[in-house]
Chain A
C-alpha cells in the first residue's frame, strides 16, 4: 500500500476532488540511451540545504541541491503535514535517491550524474511552477543533462 482505496473516505474524497491541470497533449523527447545519459533529480518534497530559505505557501521557486550536498545538510520545509516524514528522517534516499543514482553512475547504468539537483515544494499548484520550470530547463541543459527524474513526496 498505499492505493487510493487504502485511504479512508475523507482522504479519498480529498484526492478525488483535487483540481488537476489540463494538458491537451503530452510532449515527447526521445532521450539518448540511459547508459550514456546525464541524469538529474527534481524533487517536489520541499527540500533545501540547511540554512537556505524555507519554502512557504504557494512557493513557486526552487532550491538548489548540489550533488555533493552531505545528507546532514538536507532539510525539508514542505508546507504539507499530510505525508510521512519519518522515512526521510531515517534515510534521505527514500525521497531523494542521490546515493542510489551515484551508484548507478559508478556501475555504468547511467552515463553520469548532474552537478546539481533541484527541489520544488509540491503543494503549489502545477500551473504556478511553469515559469520556474522553463528557467530550470535552461540550467539543466547548461549542465548537459539529458534525462530528469521527477520524484514526488
Chain B
C-alpha cells in the first residue's frame, strides 16, 4: 500500500493511506498514513457501523491538511467487538455432530455439509442482497469436487473458466470458505458472530477444514514450486497453525 503512495504522489497525486501493519509503513515511509489497530481484512474497523467507518475515513482525510510529511498518525480508537472476549456466549450454532456413516469419505462428508448449509447460505444471500461466493464461476458442489480431486491420483489438468488448475485451486479454496462463512451468518445470531468464532467453528468442526489440511499436506511435497508455495502459504491461514501444531516458517527456507 505504501509503495503505491510513493508512486502516485511522485506522479502528482496527493495520497493518504490506511496502514494495518505499522512496522511496514514505518519502513516504506509513504507521504501520509493513518495506522489503525484493526483486524486484517477490516481497514475501516467495523462492518455495518457507518459512524465508526466515517470517523476512520475522516481521520484519513485529515492527513491532507498536514503541512509536511511523511506523516504517520495512530488512530486512537479500537474496533468494538474485536476482542474474542467481547463475543463470549456467541458461538456458531451450526453443528455437524450427527453421526455420519462410518464409511463416509471426506468428499461425501463435504457434499453432505454443503447440502446442510445450503438453506442458511441462501438465507444470508437473501438478507444481504449479495454474496462473495462465485469467483470461480462454478457451482459450490463443483467447487467441492474440484478441491477433493486434488487429493486423488488424477488432479485437475484442464483450464476451467479461463483458469489453469493451480489458479482455480486458489479461487476454489476461498469460494468454499466464503460459502461456509456466509452460511454460518444465516443463523439467528447472524452478523453478531465474530470472526474468531467463525474461524473456531470452521477450523474445528467442518469437513472443509479437514479437506484444507489434507490439501496442504498433499501440495507441500509437490514438484511444482507454485503448488508447493500454495500449500505452505495459502490453504491454512498462519493464525490457525497453532491449533494444529503447525510451525512451518517457509519464508526462512530458501529452497521454497
Q: Chain B 51-70 against A: per-residue CB contact (8 Å), 1 yes, 0 no?
A: 00110011011001100111
Contact (Cβ within 8 A) A149 B16? yes
Q: Tell me whether B93 is interfacial, beta carbon within 8 Å.
A: no
Contact (Cβ within 8 A) B37 A3? yes
Residues of A within 8 A of B43 (CB): 94-95, 151-153
Chain A CB within 10 A, most for which of B3, B233, B238: B3
Please pick, from A8, A26, A141, the residue contacting B12 in the complex, using a CB distance under 8 A: A141
A95 to B7, CA, bound (A): 22
Contact (Cβ within 8 A) B24 A104? no
A23 to B82, CA, bound (A): 34
A13 to B250, CA, bound (A): 11
Please pick, from B9, B70, B238, the residue contacting A11 in the complex, using a CB distance under 8 A: B238
Q: Tell me whether B129 is interfacial, beta carbon within 8 Å.
A: yes
**Using a CB-CB cutoff of 8 Å, which residues 89-115 of chain A contact chain B?**
89-95, 97, 99-101, 103-104, 109-110
**Using a CB-CB cutoff of 8 Å, which residues 1-25 of chain B contact chain A?**
1-24
Asked if A85 meets B132 with Cβ closer than 8 Å, knowing A28-B69, A77-B171, the reply is yes
Chain B min CB distance to A49 (Å): 11
Contact (Cβ within 8 A) B170 A10? no
Q: Tell me whether B128 is interfacial, beta carbon within 8 Å.
A: yes
Please pick, from A87, A99, A134, A145, the residue contacting B7 in the complex, using a CB distance under 8 A: A134
Contact (Cβ within 8 A) A90 B191? yes
Chain B min CB distance to A53 (Å): 7
Q: Tell me whether B185 is interfacial, beta carbon within 8 Å.
A: yes
Contact (Cβ within 8 A) A18 B6? no
Residues of B within 8 A of A4 (CB): 21-23
Chain B min CB distance to A62 (Å): 10
Q: Tell me whether B76 is interfacial, beta carbon within 8 Å.
A: no
Contact (Cβ within 8 A) B167 A54? yes
Contact (Cβ within 8 A) A87 B11? no
A sample of 14 more A-B contacts (CB under 8 A), given A89-B185, A149-B16, is: A1-B82, A2-B40, A3-B37, A17-B251, A28-B68, A56-B167, A81-B174, A84-B195, A104-B57, A104-B58, A122-B1, A134-B7, A151-B17, A153-B41
